[in-house]
Structure 1
């Protein structure tokens, strides 16, 4: 039986069943007495087993069969739910997930799950699962295979900022008795020299001495290798220290080679290689009864690109109809504009993906991190059905992961500490998403320790981020924003969970690169709130066209508060800068003609100036332009590889008359 034609459907439905297993296992851990939960789990596992067997993926079907036996035992009260058992069940679902991903990338879904099966069989017999010794041994020959995309982005960012990335391998003496103490002393030395991004084994395993006599660290520093090695060697009972530069690009090349080798393995007898090829990016839909079809996302991208060209031509036709002043032509163009506007809304809606695709990974992650840190944390998710453009969804996941890790590590206190403060021992992280206008807002709230303003200010002064005089004039909001400065961290101890200096800086840069913004609010011992504002889509945006000399520029409407034409007498001076009084607020002026070196077309005799007031968070500035042209929807185009990092320019667009207008990055102009 040729099952190739069903492969896409199998992968999509399998991922849906795995999502169900993850979610319901979390529910089962909280309420093991609820039989409806185990029924849902059993149903998902049973369906997955049947589908896998039908498609010929025996390893997947066999593991699911053993897992199903455990769920059956729980269903009939033969097995009692406990934490160790839940860890084993989560690990089993992880193995299933890895098999599905292998199938999606062209593999056969084969995986050595002997140890996992043994654990499940222990559970089925009513025994407490015990980690096998083989699972506890760390593979030192391949020490950094677990770096995720977000950690790699931090390392990339550090290189751009002039830091050195190192891989440090440390061996302790064979007769070293207090291994945990030596590790602590090494980390104390490293904390003074830079930032630890990753350690293998993990920090908790190192502290509890769950390792042999060596460990590896991925490290960021401004110091040379020789100096770092010299400082580490001052710690006693160190046998050897090996430091070498860590290259993100080389790491990715090696990972690509591993992936290629895996895909180049010969297919099973009687099967061609094309039988296993599939495209992972298939749009998720509901069941067949809802009258939907699955559409490859690449086709939607092509459709969007074609429509972007249509928007440019629409603008050109509108320009021509105004110039010719022909009644019939104007009517036709107006009708085409209405129809294309409806078409635009439909295409954008088709590209929308529920943010639940990002949110559903967090409950499991929070459970795991909370256990590592010995904390009691619960997550509440609100508005998971809120939709965002797929391009935004792809980029926002890693920043949210870091903010949630930050909330668990820095925000939520230990249970004893919370109890002493009169709080519940269980901390809560609330993740909420909602629409407002043309934006989506995502808020991460915790009921933890909040932010200690004095500690933040002192650390910022010590790190040279601000001066003592600047610190005295900062508002609460400005103090909170300091934690997103490059290299900032208030953590007194090394941790591979969060707070690694450049982390929140990368979060801020990523969000702003998406045309969004992030603000922070906090109250000491009450909690913190990180608010992210994102545009619904990145492809077609509404802008205000303005004129500077003979050139045209576009200012995104999302950042504009108001436009104004003021008399020159209303322009004041403060601290040698030109400002205006805008509704009781002092707003500095930014002369775009000076920033972009454009000759000003306005005459010095002109008594009035045109100003566009823009906002980023709680900060505002007034952009001084020659004149306003009007509002228009434009297609955002990249400037290409040769014009990256152009100050305050986020892209360009083609106007109706064929002229190119640069799109201003409002965030960069608000100081």
Structure 2
């Protein structure tokens, strides 16, 4: 076995272990006292460390070794898990995933993990350093805060220092007899925001608005004012007992971020002169996000593995070979029918049965559980909840539902956008949920299930829902619709405006939403996969995004039609029914040709005009055959020359040498060797 094969095995197994670590860390966060889960996590980390060391990836091995040390203390009951330790371990996993990804892309897997290693070492030592209660000016090496910063907040502060702004850490203490703590905190914030920007507070703003804090609160602040001026502003507020204002530089900011992780990591040690707000940080941090019930991946031993790894490219080659076999089978069936040779016919029929069974097996080999996509979402929603200061339960059902690998590869990003949308726009802040009589923890359901030849994936939240007036207000403001169009739109049409390019209801731009990018990408990607997305919402109750996808994109059932001397294929999944109409049944409405269908008028589309087919014109025919197609709930009729029949066809891409042709999704080779273009019904219905 050459080194490349060893490297491939290392990458595959590392990704498996990292996924197991993420899943079990989420399980442990919900059950922090379950030492059985800790044992599973420790074994995965230990195995990953050994593999990395064997392959010579030192940074990866070093970081995993330090994680292993922390986990060893936990499993031996020498350290209790808490939010700050979870956050540090999750950041470690993110760094490990980045390094493995770098190795996958041909890199050496090196990364600067010194900051994370230092934080893990501080947790291991049980160190904690209290913030100073008297210092002003430049901090000493022992200054620490009780505030944890995410990467974005740290980069904002660090860049502000580079640009010449003053970044200060502020600690405010109110008098013991203060009756209106929330009001005094608000007055301090108001005074500070006149001449600067508050980046992060502890406790968070929502807790302070409700008075859920002791006498003291902490914050990071960007300004151009001097330290003494800031301190004077704060002390000018009634019932403020003291104010500590510390100006930071690059080095001290970095040190404070590292030491705050250490300061929150040692429950066994009593802090020296620590403020009450720091000691209660673990009580006030956001609750962990729950996920669907799952069992930790343990090494059961005993039963040998009955699975093997197969390179995806080999499955693609197998699929292509079978596609050629399917084309030859159809050709043989046609030749047997024309020859009227019974022995040949019997042999071809037997071969057809065998190849049908082979087709089912090949297609099943390409089917992958959606769990391969879903398994990264619990961690993502957990991080989103912390970023947004919300409490969110993610409940996953139907993770064993299978989809073709080509669909699986493409559906991940659209689902990320929809989940982020539910977390940001759907689930309300805790205070709003309580005011609305809802539980403070929001729920997002992610479910998948089969229905016919389709798979449905639904993302449903119990949040604020979609309000028609809010969408139309934004749509009118951005010029997406006119006032006359808005007045005649149904609720469903209004909801579909969420998928308009550049449309957003976010009031503020953040790293989560509000940049006008997201749902339009979701719609275009799903439509490109031959699917559809529908929105159901009840204002004040919640929203459901339902994504419909085809089971496979490689072999489909289609209706073959003839247009003059040319042949086309229409996927059966797009066809409602077929019919014959007379010339007198065609109506002209506002310049468009329409036909009656089930007590309604639907547009009649002429393929001969669209594709410039010169040897057929349905207007010269007394009777015309039509195919009624659908896209979601919208219908249209296509006028055709003749039906050839139903057949299973192999989808072939047109290739990169041909330009994109509107209304054509690909081509197929028929039994007689001719090429038939595959019609994209979605392109005809706007």
**TM-score scaled by length of structure 2:** 0.74
Q: How does 1:394-409 map to 2 (within 5 A)?
A: 394-409=409-424
The aligned counterpart of 1:82 is 82
1:91 corresponds to which residue? 91
**Residue of 507, 528, 549 corresponding to 1:534:** 549
Q: 1:44 to 1:565 in 2, by over 3 A?
A: same
- Pick from 496, 502, 513 the counterpart of residue 498 of structure 1: 513
| Greater shift in the superposed pair: 598-607 or 639-648 | 598-607
Q: Residues of 2 paired with 1:56 and 1:526: CA distance? A: 54
Aligned to 1:317: 332
Distance in 1 of aligned mates of 2:574 and 2:440: 41
Deviation at 1:400, TM superposition (A): 1.1
Q: Is the 8 A contact 1:634 1:653 kept in 2?
A: yes
Q: Distance in 1 between matches of 2:125 and 2:625?
A: 79
Deviations 1:476-520 (CA, angstroms, capped at 9, x unpaired): 111100110112112221122124224211211111111111111
Q: How many residues are treated as equivalent by the alignment?
A: 552
TM-superposed CA distance for 1:211, in Å, is: 11
Cross-structure match for 2:124: 124
Deviations 1:381-439 (A, max 9, x none): 11112222221111111111111111111111110001101111111111111122222
Q: Distance in 2 between matches of 1:424 and 1:137?
A: 29
Report the more deviating stretch, 599-608 or 554-563.
599-608
Superposition pairs for residues 284-299 of structure 1, below 5 Å? 289-299=304-314
Structure 1 runs (4+) greater than 6 angstroms displaced: 1-4, 129-140, 175-184, 210-213
Aligned equivalents of 2:653 and 2:194: distance in 1? 52
For 1:208 and 1:663, the matched residues in 2 are separated by 60
Unaligned 5+ runs, structure 1: 144-168, 185-206, 214-285
Alignment deviations for residues 560-602 of structure 1 (CA, whole Å, 9 cap, x no partner): 1111223444444544433333333432222222222223636
Deviations 1:206-227 (A, max 9, x none): x9657999xxxxxxxxxxxxxx
Structure 1 pair 355–419 and aligned structure 2 pair: CA distance change class (3 A): same
In structure 2, what is the Cα distance between the partners aligned to 1:484 and 1:382?
Answer: 26
Q: After alignment, is 423-432 or 496-505 more displaced?
A: 496-505
- Further displaced range: 56-65 or 511-520: 56-65
Q: Equivalent residue for 2:43? A: 43
Per-residue deviation, 1:3? 7.3
Deviates more, 1:505-514 or 1:585-594: 585-594
Give me the whole-angstrom Cα distance separating, in 1, the residues matched to 2:591 and 2:98.
61
CA distance in 2 between counterparts of 1:33 and 1:532 reads 38
Distance 2:659 2:193 in 1: 46
Q: How does 1:147-158 map to 2 (within 5 A)?
A: none
1:598 maps to 2:613: yes
In 1: Cα distance, 2:435 partner to 2:149 partner: 39
TM-score (norm 1): 0.75
1:552 match: secondary structure: strand
Give the match's secondary structure for 2:60: helix
SS class of match (1:304): helix
Q: CA deviation at 1:354?
A: 1.6
- CA distance 1:396–1:655, change in 2 (3 Å): same
Q: Give the aligned partner of residue 465 of structure 1.
A: 480
* Residues 1:425 and 2:446 are matched in the alignment: no
User: Matches of 1:403 and 1:73 in 2, distance apart?
Assistant: 39
Structure 1 residues 423 and 81: CA distance shift in structure 2, 3 A: same
Provide the secondary structure at the position in 2 that maps to 1:579.
strand
Partner of residue 366, structure 1? 381
CA spacing shift, 1:495–1:606, aligned 2, 3 Å:
same
**Structure 2 vs 1, CA of residues 628 and 374 (structure 1 numbering), >3 Å: closer, same or farther?**
same
SS in 2 for 1:643: coil
CA distance in 2, matches of 1:351, 1:118: 44
* Deviation readout 1:333-355 (Å, 9 max, x if unpaired): 22222222222221121122221
2:25/2:41 contact within 8 Å kept: yes
Instruction: Give the Å deviation of 1:182.
Output: 9.4
Q: CA RMSD in A?
A: 3.4
Q: Residue 442 of structure 1 corresponds to which residue in structure 2? A: 457
3-state SS, counterpart of residue 304 of structure 2: helix
Pairing of 1:76-225 with structure 2 (within 5 A): 76-127=76-127, 174=165
Could you say which residue in structure 2 is the equivalent of 1:580?
A: 595
